Chains A and B, each alone.
Chain A
Amino acid sequence: MKVYVTGDSHTRAYRAALDRAPRENVDCIMLGSGTHTKRVFFKRVGSIVTFSEPSYIEAWNTLSGRDDILPHPGEALGLVMGLHSAPNFRSRDWAKFAPATMPGVSNKAPISAAVQDAIARRGGGYTRQFVEELVTAWRHGGGRDVPPIFILSAPPPYRDHAIIRRAKAPPAVVVEAHRRFNASATQFFTELGVTVIGYPQSVHDDEGFLLPEYREGIDPLDPHHANSRFAGLMLDELERRVAAL
């Protein structure tokens, strides 16, 4: 089965992983900056979904040779978007606020679980609507209940992130912001019938931070990306899931 992997800037690590160790049936391209997902970047007409953002159209066409995005027979789609928690966890809010029941953060303004969930729901721009439209189009076209679409998780925050080092947000609060966001997005996509591929436990430490080896080769000032080693692990899991279809 042919697997197309595409998405926001995290996709760069997947491209690097494939350049280093090509996989026969997997091809990949970065659509462009995730900033474009803050606006509607797609459109659906019946069972056809296409990108409306010019840079995304061009990239997708380069990868697939067509405009429509839904997997054709014999294809699967890996989307590197929708679980990009960084805009959430790196907010300066986390230097001032903390979950109400979290121990050791009594000097922060408490926020309730419901508020945390409302914040988590907010992230991701229009990626949730994009995937929702893909699923709608899939079913509109008479596809099976479960489309061969996989969402690949972005990595967790790293320990030395500026939000902790400079803005002094408590590490546990930052990890919790990431965890809430991921949980919320995962639930949303799963309920749509789309498979979410989370990162393996082996990539993070006991606190939940990305291990340093998955940042090697990345500019220390880069705010949230992992390296091709991380992407390689994600591709391994993607291939396993695709093989099981």
Chain B
Amino acid sequence: MLDKTAKQNWHPYRGLPQRAFWKNMARQHPLAIDFLYQKKFSIDADTKIASAGSCFAQHVGRALRQSGFNYLDYEPAPSLLPEAERSRFGYGMFSARYGNVYTARQLRQLFARAFGKFKPVDEFWEAGGRFFDPYRPTIEEGGFSSLDELRAMRDHHLKQVRKLFKDVDLFVFTLGLTETWLNKNDGAAYQICPGTTAGQFDPDNHVFENASFVSVLRDMETFIIKFRAVNPDVKMLLTVSPVPLAATATPHHVLTATSYSKATLRAVAGYLAEKYECVDYFPSYEIVSSHPFHGFFFERDLRNVNDKGVDFVMSHFFGEHKLKAAKPRTSIKKVRKSDEDVWCDEKVLERYA
């Protein structure tokens, strides 16, 4: 029991751990900063893990796969397809061939489409006799050879995504953007603005939306509720991509637009992790982007995350989630984690700079 004097002097900041004080962190070498992540639940070698999200999520998925975790791939490439060509066809980037899922709206929509609850009116784009899936327009470089082929590939893809959502134990989702292009008719969210990688921009049918906190939260909560309805024990690990916007369609500077986007996504991820037992948050955004790290982990373009950054981020993850006698699950050789190995559709916007 505290005596009277002690009681008078006590307040909530006394006895807090070292990590609670900025001053302590500021004295450390950036690479020595620790306790940035404390896991909420455990992952073991049998935990079936799947990932989706923005470009940065590819690094996370790859690191999990190479570290012996049970990382799912429900649309693997044929072994005959050379490894160097796989990313051109969207293989091995994520747990299925959905390509980059940048926004909460896209994720919610992917789930709805996989379970037959939403069928967008904008079914395909055609150009020069080639056919593009508007919701993953770069999944086949140069498009599909016919509409029949696009439909067959899409139906199989959605079937595998449905299976993935039902089977997975831990779903890792990296929130990337708030800026979204929607179809005015049914609200379908595109992966990227029509006309930039494929398709044709049509101001009568395509509309821009910069999602608010409320909007992102609504999309994520809808997704979580529906997801747990088909997979009651599933857990989620949310991250926010540290990769800045390649371009903004708002009237603001891309720096402030990035700040808005990341702040919104970070706030939603934090809120969800506080609210739901099944949701954890992993601070990859802070580890790469916060100023105590002096931008060490960015490439010269101040956008792409370098190998050291990815390794440092994942070291915090693996520090909390250690596997006993971790063995690689696949024979995939360790590959470079450089920018060329990560397919980022949004990067195409740099062409218009």
A: residues with CB less than 8 A from B are: 88, 91-93, 96-97, 100-101, 109-115, 118-119, 122
Flag B66-93 by CB within 8 Å of A: 1 or 0 each: 0000000001001111100100110000
A-B pairs with the 4 shortest C-beta distances? A100-B152, A93-B78, A113-B145, A119-B80
- Verify A112–B79 contact, CB threshold 8 A: no
Q: How large is the interface on B (under 10, 10 to 19, 20 to 34, 35 or more residues)?
A: 20 to 34
Contacts of B152 in A (CB 8 A): 100-101, 110
Q: Are A91 and B80 interface neighbours, CB within 8 A?
A: yes
- Whether B153 is near chain A, meaning CB under 8 Å from some CB there, is yes
Quick check: A109 and B149 within 8 Å, CB to CB?
A: no
Given A118-B82, A118-B89, 6 further pairs, Cβ under 8 A: A91-B80, A111-B78, A112-B145, A114-B144, A114-B145, A118-B88
- Distance, CA A88 to CA B80, complexed state (A): 7
Q: Which of A88, A109, A119, A122 has the most CB of B within 10 A?
A: A109
Asked if B156 CB lies within 8 Å of chain A CBs, one says: yes
A237 and B239 alpha carbons, distance in the complex (Å): 65
Collect the chain A residues with CB atoms within 8 Å of residue B153's CB: 100, 110, 112
Q: Closest chain A residue to B91 by CB distance?
A: A115
The B interface, classified by DSSP as helix, strand, loop or mixed, is loop
Nearest-CB residue, chain B, relative to A100: B152
A115 and B89: CB pair below 8 A? yes
The answer to whether the Cβ of B301 comes within 8 Å of any Cβ in the partner chain is no
Within 8 A of A (CB), among B112-169: 140-142, 144-146, 148-149, 152-153, 156
Q: How far is the CB of B59 from chain A (nearest CB, A)?
A: 24
B78 contacts across to A, CB distance below 8 A:
91, 93, 96-97, 111, 115, 119
Question: Given the complex of chains A and B, what is the CA–CA distance between A119 and B81 in angstroms?
Answer: 5
Question: Are A93 and B145 neighbours in the complex by a CB distance under 8 Å?
Answer: no
A110 contacts B156, CB within 8 Å? Answer: yes
Interface residues of B (CB under 8 A from A): 75, 78-82, 85, 88-89, 140-142, 144-146, 148-149, 152-153, 156
In the bound complex, residues from chain B placing their C-beta under 8 Å from that of A110 are 149, 152-153, 156
Residues of A within 8 A of B145 (CB): 112-114
Q: List 28 A-B contacts (CB under 8 A).
A: A91-B79, A92-B79, A93-B79, A97-B78, A100-B149, A100-B152, A101-B146, A101-B149, A109-B156, A110-B149, A110-B153, A112-B140, A112-B144, A112-B153, A113-B145, A113-B149, A114-B89, A114-B140, A114-B141, A114-B145, A115-B81, A115-B140, A118-B81, A118-B82, A118-B85, A118-B88, A119-B81, A122-B81
Min CB distance A143 to B, Å, is 33
Give CA–CA (A97, B78) in the complex, Å.
7
B80 touches A93 (CB 8 A): yes
By a CB distance below 8 angstroms, the chain B residues around A118 are 81-82, 85, 88-89
A223–B173 Cα gap in the complex (Å)? 46
Q: In the bound complex, what is the Cα–Cα distance between A195 and B179 (angstroms)? A: 55
Contacts of A91 in B (CB 8 A): 78-80
A88 partner residues in chain B, CB cutoff 8 A: 80
Closest partner residue, chain B, to A111 (CB atom): B78
Closest chain A residue, CB of each to CB of B152: A100
A92–B145 CA distance with the chains assembled, in angstroms = 25
- The interface residues of chain B lying within 8 Å CB-to-CB of A92 are 79
The smallest beta-carbon distance between A117 and chain B, in angstroms, is 10
Interfacial chain A residues near B149, Cβ < 8 Å: 100-101, 110, 112-113
Interface centre among B88, B89, B141, B152 (most CB of A within 10 A): B152
B141: chain A residues at CB < 8 Å are 114
B81 to chain A, nearest CB (A): 6
When distances are taken between beta carbons in the complex, the residues of chain A under 8 Å from B79 are 91-93
Give A93 to B77 CA distance when docked, in angstroms.
Answer: 9
The answer for the CA separation of A38 and B304 in the assembled complex, in Å, is 36
- The CA-CA distance from A103 to B253 in the complex, in Å, is 52
* Nearest B-chain residue to A113, judged by Cβ: B145
Question: With the chains together, A24 CA to B146 CA distance in Å?
Answer: 51
Residues of A with C-beta under 8 A to B75: 109
Q: In the complex, what's the smallest C-beta–C-beta distance from B52 to chain A, in angstroms?
A: 19
| CB of B77 to closest CB in A, whole Å | 8
Could you tell me if A122 and B142 are in contact, using CB atoms closer than 8 angstroms? no
In the bound assembly, the distance between CA atoms of A122 and B88 in angstroms comes to 15
The residue in chain A whose Cβ has the minimal distance to the Cβ of B155 is: A110
When C-beta atoms are compared, the residue in chain B nearest to A102 turns out to be: B152
CB-defined contacts of B144 to chain A, threshold 8 Å: 112-114
Interface-central residue, A96, A97, A100, A122, by most chain B CB under 10 Å: A100
Q: Which residues of A contact B82 (CB under 8 A)?
A: 118, 122
Complex Cα spacing A172 to B255, Å: 55
Q: Tell me how far the C-beta of A193 lies from the nearest C-beta in chain B, rounded to whole angstroms.
A: 27
Chain A residues within 8 Å of B81, by CB: 115, 118-119, 122
The docked-state distance in angstroms from the alpha carbon of A113 to that of B145 is: 7
Q: Which B residues are CB-close (under 8 A) to A93? A: 78-80
CB distance from B349 to the nearest CB of A (A): 24
Contacts of A113 in B (CB 8 A): 144-145, 149
Q: Chain B residues near A100 (CB, 8 Å)? A: 148-149, 152-153, 156
